[in-house]
Every structure is written in C-alpha cells, then in structure tokens.
Amino acid sequence: MTPPKHIWSGGWEAESEAEARRRAEAEAERQAHAAEQPEAPTTTGPTIAPGSPADPYAPERGRAGTTSRGRVAALMAVTILVIGGAAFAAGLLLDDNGDGKNGTTPVAALPSVGSKPIKPARGQTRAGTIYTQASPAVVSIRTSTGTGTGFLIDKSGTLVTNDHVVETAKTVQVKFGTDGRTIQGDVKGVDPSSDLAVVHIDPGTIPGGTTPLEFADSRGVSVGDVAIAIGNPFGLDRTVTEGIVSSLGRTLKAPNGFQIDDVIQTDAAINPGNSGGPLLDDGGKVIGVNSQIATNGVSAGNVGIGFAVPSNTVRQVVPGLKEGKTVSHAWLGVQIDTSGATNPNATSGAVIGSVETGGPAESAGLQAGDVVKRIDGQAVQDPTELSTIINSKAPGNKIKLTVERNGQSQEVDVTLQNRPQQVPSQTQTP
C-alpha cells in the first residue's frame, strides 16, 4: 500500500513538489549566506503525498534529492510533526492585514446543523434521494492543469474545494452539471495546511433551484456511519458512490508538507477528479471534503481507502478564506524521530529528532533526543498526541513542555510561532 495521494485529475503533484524544492533551495542558500558558510548543504523540499509510480495522473518525478551519507535512513524515519491541520476550535487566527491591534483576529466558524437520516420515498434508495437533493450544488472545477470538484455552501456564490485543486490559479472554470455552462470563478483564498480553498462565483450564475449544502458537526460522526461521495472522477460528471465511515482520527500530509489531523477515512469509492467534493452523511449534510486516497502501487484508482478533511476544519477555515485572509496555525518547530535512532531508550512520549533553526523550540532550548512527556500537564503518549495538542493552540500561545533529557525530567517554556508556508528545509542531522 503506497502513501495517500491527492485525487486531483491533473499534474498537481510534480508541480507542487517542484515549487517546494525551489523554495527549499532558496531558503538553504539564504541561511548559508547568513552564516557565511562556504557551501550550503544540499536539501530537498517536502514530499507531498506520493502516488503510485504507475499513476498517469501523477507524472513521474525525480528522486527526493540527496543527503549526506548516514542521514538518508534517519531522515526517512523522521516524521514532520507539530504541523497541523486546524483542529476544530483550535484557536486559529486570521491575518487581518494590519487592521487589528495584534495583526491577527479570531476565526468565527461557520455554523453546523443537525442531521437526521433521510427517509427515501417508496421505490427510491437513500443514496438516490440524497443525490437528487445534493448534486445540483456540486460543481466541476477546471484549471490549466486538470479538473476537480467543488460545492456551493451559500447563495452568495461561495464554493469550497481543495487547495491542491486550485494551486496557484487566480481564476478557475466552474460548471454546474444541471446546465453545463462555463462560469468564471475567482479564487478568494487558499490554506495549504488544511488543503482547503474558497472560490467565488457571481450569484446570478447559480442555476435556479440549487440549494447550497450545509455542514454537520464532524464530532458527531462515528465509525460505521453512512458516507456518500459526489464528485467528478475521471471527468465523469457528478458521480455518486456510497460506503461507510471506515475510521476516524487519521492524519494526512497537506500540500505544504504539514499535517492534517482528525481526517475521516471512508470506503466510498473516490478517484482522481473527486478532489474537493463533499462527503455526506445519511442526512445529506457535509461531514468532509474528499482529498486523498491510498493506492496499492499498481492501480491509480480506488481501493476502498479514501480520506476527507473533516467538516469542522472546513467550518473553521472557510470564513477567513472567503474574505481573502490568511489562516495562521501554531508551530513548535521540531521534527519527530520515529526510528528510535535519536533516543533508543524512549518507550513513550514524542522523541525530538531535530529542532528547526530559528523556530520556537530552538529559542526555548529544546534539543534533539529530548522526549516530550507533557504539554501544560496533558500527557503526550505518542507523536500524534503532540501534534494534536499543538494544533489546538494559536500562534503566540505560551506552553510548558515537560521533557525527559538524559534520564532527567525538566520543564521548558515555549512561545509558539506562526507556521511557515512550507515545512522548513531540514539542514541539520537529527
């Protein structure tokens, strides 16, 4: 089973990784000059959710780059952490472009609505009834590099889709399946950390009778619940598939290399072109935005393991993107070693494999090999818990870490910073 890949029908992966490499190389060069070093270390940008080598929708890319001998195995086992995906009610902030006193303002989440199972009329299936109600609000989104899916969430023309669908595009082509007209959509905002984007269309272009989709509270989703996906797989307009919620609390790599938390796993069939489409519950309410799939290394299509960004993350992020603002996420600035190479004696907690230069962890004196045991008194059993707790904070928050160093416990105060646009280049040996 290969790692999850985005389900965007186009060349998003090669282009995204090329841009990540360019940014990483530029940052490495800047740091080398700043330190007056004769030669900058060779680094690479983050690898973004690679797909199958045989995947025609993800063009073959070069190797992830080279590192000094002895670092390769260690780096492969290091998980980028404290990276996050906007856990709901996590204190996310919006850049208010200097209009506020502190430069940031709190996010007001979109409302959720209660969801009751739809009872189909006699002779209809539940999936068919939900499709009839929801599909008019589902759109095809096309850029110069490929096609994906989006959906309408209000009568003012707000569409939700994935960041990796729109990428750097300022405008996109939008089609409602009900009439087939091509509508220009303006990209209002993107958040690579949660893989979400907002597109705006003229409200007058919305087909008559189209009802915007509403969001359920994803905290109410349970394993085994009905899950219905609507999208444009392989360009097949408004295809519906039905399955169940297979698991909860998964994590995925976002387009900028950070981590998305609380992801919903489903066996509803989703394929290239489904990216950005809604995952619905049995009441026709949105519980997630379809974003990635896992493949078996042979097929580029569905093998029954798909992933959706949870609706509560969408509800938290979209209001700011709709206003063209930037969402800020808390950042600790460490990489976590899951190989055991940095601290082979650690049996629980999160072992720091390396500390990012200039990050809050470095400023606080955290070191490679430190084992994070608690944050503000809350136990950290594993790297996932560390990521989840940090994602519940906001930039500027002060936290107290209890760490184990050389067998001794000590407390370290850290002031979290705003996460950078890309995962920083790893320039030091873990």
Domain ranges of the chain: 329-430
Question: Out of 1.10.10.10, 3.30.420.40, 2.30.42.10, 1.10.3720.10, which CATH number does the structure's domain 329-430 have?
Answer: 2.30.42.10
Q: C-alpha angle 54/265/142, rounded to 5°? A: 55
- Cα(226)–Cα(236) distance, integer angstroms: 23
- Give the confidence band of 56 by pLDDT, cuts at 50, 70, 90: very low
Catalytic residues: 164, 195, 275
| Residue 27 to residue 185: CA distance in whole angstroms | 33
Lowest mean per-residue pLDDT among 202-206, 253-257, 384-388: 384-388
pTM over 0.75: no
The band of 198, judged by pLDDT with boundaries at 50, 70 and 90, is: very high
Asked whether the predicted pLDDT for residue 97 surpasses 60, the reply is no
- Give CB contacts under 8 A, 24+ apart, made by 369-373: 369/342, 369/343, 369/405, 370/343, 370/403, 370/404, 370/405, 371/343, 371/346, 371/403, 371/404, 371/405, 372/401, 372/402, 372/403, 373/348, 373/349, 373/402, 373/403, 373/404, 373/409
Spatial distance between the Cα atoms of 151 and 138, rounded to a whole number of angstroms = 4
The secondary element (H helix, E strand) that includes residue 319 is: helix 311-322
* pLDDT at residue 414 tops 90: yes
DSSP 8-class letter at 430: -
State pLDDT tens for residues 237-283. Answer: 889 999 999 999 888 888 888 888 889 999 998 888 899 999 999 99
Per-residue confidence (pLDDT) for residue 87, from 0 to 100: 34
| Distances 415 to 79, 394, 395, 400 between C-alpha atoms, Å | 22, 10, 8, 9
Question: Strands of 104-106's sheet, edge to edge?
Answer: 104-106, 93-95, 326-328
Distances from the Cα of 53 to the Cαs of 67, 143, 256, 291, 356, in angstroms? 22, 24, 21, 19, 31
pLDDT digits (tens, 9 = 90+) for 128-178: 999 999 999 999 999 988 889 999 999 999 999 999 999 999 999 999 987
- Quick: pLDDT tens for 10-48: 543 444 455 445 545 655 665 565 554 444 333 333 222
pLDDT at 226: 96
Alpha carbon 69 to chain centroid, angstroms: 32
Amino acid letter, residue 151: F
